[in-house]
Amino acid sequence: DAGVTQSPTHLIKTRGQQVTLRCSPKSGHDTVSWYQQALGQGPQFIFQYYEEEERQRGNFPDRFSGHQFPNYSSELNVNALLLGDSALYLCASTHRDQGTQYFGPGTRLLVL
Amino acid sequence: AQSVAQPEDQVNVAEGNPLTVKCTYSVSGNPYLFWYVQYPNRGLQFLLKYITGDNLVKGSYGFEAEFNKSQTSFHLKKPSALVSDSALYFCAVRDNAGGTSYGKLTFGQGTILTVHP
């Protein structure tokens, strides 16, 4: 049973560029959440997708957007990258009735 | 608004001794509480959760946690620590207000656990 997978594992971008991160949920899961974990901090909630709609959003600017596909996989897009966007981006999946979020290994983004 | 506090940045214990990692929370409704562990350069691994029922929750790798509603705490414990338990531990809460079974997790800042041989 494959767990949550994310790609790429590492990414280096420059300020002002755009980036797309990808996530495949655990088998049987239909809900995907994205978190940003800055160095030395706990993960911060970005948004959650269910039935291809953004269901809940944290305190992140509109530069952060997402998408969920019919197969439940998801993308996180960040436009106009800032140095402060450098972080580990975590994807978590769950089944709507279960509640426990299972995390992928993350994508480490470095903005130069 | 929901919040989590982990008052200790670091906890150091000797192998074989019991360990406790502290967590307190604040929610408006009933809490769903979670513990996750993170190894270097890895994602978060689920350890255990409290939803309802018995205040003592047992989880993976011999860990357990005690829910205390009056003290709004959910401390992680293990009777006998192993060197391999050394990692970063996060407590998280989800507010059950409105009876939803989904929603964001709010995490604490994390506690670095070091178990010495």
DSSP secondary structure, A4-40, as one string = -EEE-SEEEE-TT--EEEEEEPPTT--EEEEEEE-TT
Shortest Cα distance, chain A CAs vs residue B44, angstroms: 6
The pLDDT assigned to A88 comes to 96
A42 and B108: CB-CB below 8 Å? yes
Give chain A positions within 8 Å (CB) of B102.
31, 48, 50, 55-56, 94, 96, 99
Residues A64 and A68: their CA atoms lie apart, in Å, by 14
Mean of pLDDT over chain A: 94
The pLDDT assigned to B99 comes to 57
Residues B60 and B63: their CA atoms lie apart, in Å, by 6
Residues B69 and B25: their CA atoms lie apart, in Å, by 10
Q: Can you read off the two tokens belonging to residue B113?
A: 């656990």
- Which of residues 60 through 89 in chain A touch B, CB cutoff 8 A? none
Q: Can you read off the two tokens belonging to residue A42?
A: 């706990």
DSSP class of residue B42 equals: -
The pLDDT assigned to B97 comes to 59
Residue A78: C-alpha distances to residues A21, A57, B14 (Å): 9, 15, 44
Give the tens place of pLDDT for each residue, A31-75.
Answer: 999 999 999 999 999 999 998 999 889 999 999 999 999 999 999
HSE-CB of A70 using CA atoms within 13 angstroms: 0
User: Which chain B residue shows the shortest CA-CA distance from A38?
Assistant: B109
Which residue did the predictor score with more confidence, A36 or B104?
A: A36
Span B107-115, mean pLDDT?
A: 98
| Residue A111 reports pLDDT greater than 70 | yes
pLDDT tier, B101 (very low <50, low <70, confident <90, very high otherwise): low
The DSSP code sequence of A34-78 is EEEE-TTS--EEEEEEETTEEEEE-S--TTEEEEE-TTS-EEEEE
A45 and B105: CB-CB below 8 Å? yes
pLDDT tier, A3 (very low <50, low <70, confident <90, very high otherwise): very high
The pLDDT assigned to A86 comes to 98
| Residue B69 reports pLDDT greater than 60 | yes
Residue A98: C-alpha distances to residues A101, B32, B51 (Å): 9, 12, 11
> Which amino acid, one-letter code, is at B60?
S
- Most confident option among B37-41, B48-52, B84-88: B84-88
The pLDDT assigned to B40 comes to 85
